[in-house]
Amino acid sequence: MRRRRVNRVATISMHTSPLDQPGTGDAGGMNVYIVESAKRLAQLGVEVEIFTRQTGRDLPPVVELAPGVSVRHVTAGPYEELDRADMPAQLCAFLSGVLRTEAMYEPGRYDVIHSHYWLSGQVGWLAKERWGVPLVHTMHTMAKVKNLLLAKGDRPEPQARVLGEEQVVEVADRLVANTADEALELRELYCAPEDRVAVVNPGVNLTVFQPASQGAARHRLGLPQNAHVLLFVGRIQPLKAPDVLLRAAARMLIEEPSLRERLVVACVGGPSGNGLARPDVLVDLATELGISDVVRLVPPAPQHELADWYRAADVTVVPSYNESFGLVALESQACGTPVAAAAVGGLRTAVRDGVSGVLVDSHDPQDWASVLNRFVTSPRWRDGLSSGARAHAAAFGWSATAARLMEVYAGAVANASLRVAV
């Protein structure tokens, strides 16, 4: 059977806008995923319209993100950032805005819906029924997985989210998993049918994130040329575990006090999620540990500056309790900087243990101190990992992600057509 071409995709990202700066609030890897995959889909001739909640009164109704990619702002609730716990109350208003947009055009405007995160999946579910088009959904994170791997002091995801995710899994025509591990979690924890789960690895922008002079990057960032730089990039919240890095650095300084003269612990990102309750948690922890003099806290950075941070570092540290993939790890490796990452979730795919970095099967600061100390004291070993990091990341490009998504969309459309024919 000849597959119908997919010409226009309605992408739904209710709770966070692709225009937001990743690294703070609710903006993170999912935002990067939506932006980069949409751009590459547009290059393949697919028009992408991204629906997101309007958070400012002065935002225009439609913004062109790139040729062939537009962002539609939907009025739903107050013109301000909302906690995700308050988002379900705006589902009806957001859905209404999405449906009104489609109603302005001739029937059949969209060939497929691609929703991101469970809130958007709820909207996609109802839009799918109204428009008669297939729904493709990407979880990005899953409540059942997060609740199995909670950080100390973190709050479990509510049962309402668990039920919402189960509903989306049941109605979606295709579920996109970032890795084979995530596909397994969908099948085992959510009873997703195997034939509806497709693995599509996220990518990395290999034009922006590429190797360059470490010395030049350190000069631009105001870092000493002889420093030992341990880097954390991400949102400041318990799930991402930046505290593990700070506690490990404190152990390193206890074991080797002379290291203090050269050690720099850089954390690039802003508070998010449960971390908003304690926005100064890293400042307070650095003071408590007596390492304020080596800790450098940096607000979220645009991609070109973020690439410099990766290049400037000896190692990028990703101690998360769970990651559906771990774009930070991939970006760092693309810049030639190896990664020390927790052996959880998608990080087991994003990092090739012993080749492009090290996977740590623990969140004990002493274990991390031992691993990070080797990055500081074994430059030849670190250089070998740097070469492996570049080679590993080169296999993950966003163009490949978009091509695979096109296959998923086409399959969903073909199956939907078969059901209608029957």
* Contact of 295 with 288, CB cutoff 8 Å: no
- On whether 110 is known to bind a ligand per the annotation, the reply is no
Has 22 been labeled as part of a binding site?
Answer: yes
**For the CA atoms of 172, 173, 178, 179, what is the dihedral angle to 10 degrees?**
110
Max Cα–Cα distance, the chain, nearest Å: 74
Q: Hey, is 353 helix, strand or coil?
A: strand
Q: How far is CA 363 from the centre of its chain?
A: 21
Is position 31 annotated in a ligand binding site?
Answer: yes
Residue found under tokens 């850089």? 266
Q: Please say whether the beta carbons of 14 and 94 come within 8 A.
A: yes
Is 141 annotated to bind a ligand? Reply is yes
Task: Confirm or deny that 24 is annotated as ligand binding.
Answer: no
Q: Is 296 annotated as a binding residue?
A: no
Q: Is 288 annotated as a binding residue?
A: no
Q: What Å distances lie between residue 34 and 63, 182, 258, CA to CA?
A: 15, 18, 45
| Residue 218 among known ligand-binding residues | no
331 annotated ligand-binding residue = yes
CA distance 302 to 358: 27
Give Cα 257 to chain centroid, integer Å: 36
Q: What are phi and psi of 171, to 5 degrees?
A: -100, -15
Please indicate if the annotation marks 29 as binding a ligand.
Answer: yes
Phi, psi values for residue 363, rounded to 5°: -120, 20
The reply to whether 38 sits in an annotated binding site is: no
203 marked ligand binding residue: no
Residue 124 assigned ligand-binding role: no
Would the annotation count 27 as a binding residue? yes
Tell me if 21 is assigned to a ligand binding site.
yes
352 is in an annotated binding site: no
Was 1 annotated as part of a binding site? Answer: no
Q: Is 377 annotated to bind ligand?
A: no
Residue with tokens 């029957």: 422
Is 15 annotated among the ligand-binding residues?
A: yes
- List binding-site positions: 15, 21-22, 26-31, 84, 117, 141, 161, 235, 240, 310-311, 313, 323, 331, 337
Q: Which residues are annotated binding-site positions for Mg(2+)?
A: 310-311, 313, 337
Binding site as annotated, residues for 1D-myo-inositol 3-phosphate: 15, 26-31, 84, 117, 141, 161
Annotated binding site for UDP-N-acetyl-alpha-D-glucosamine: 21-22, 29, 235, 240, 323, 331
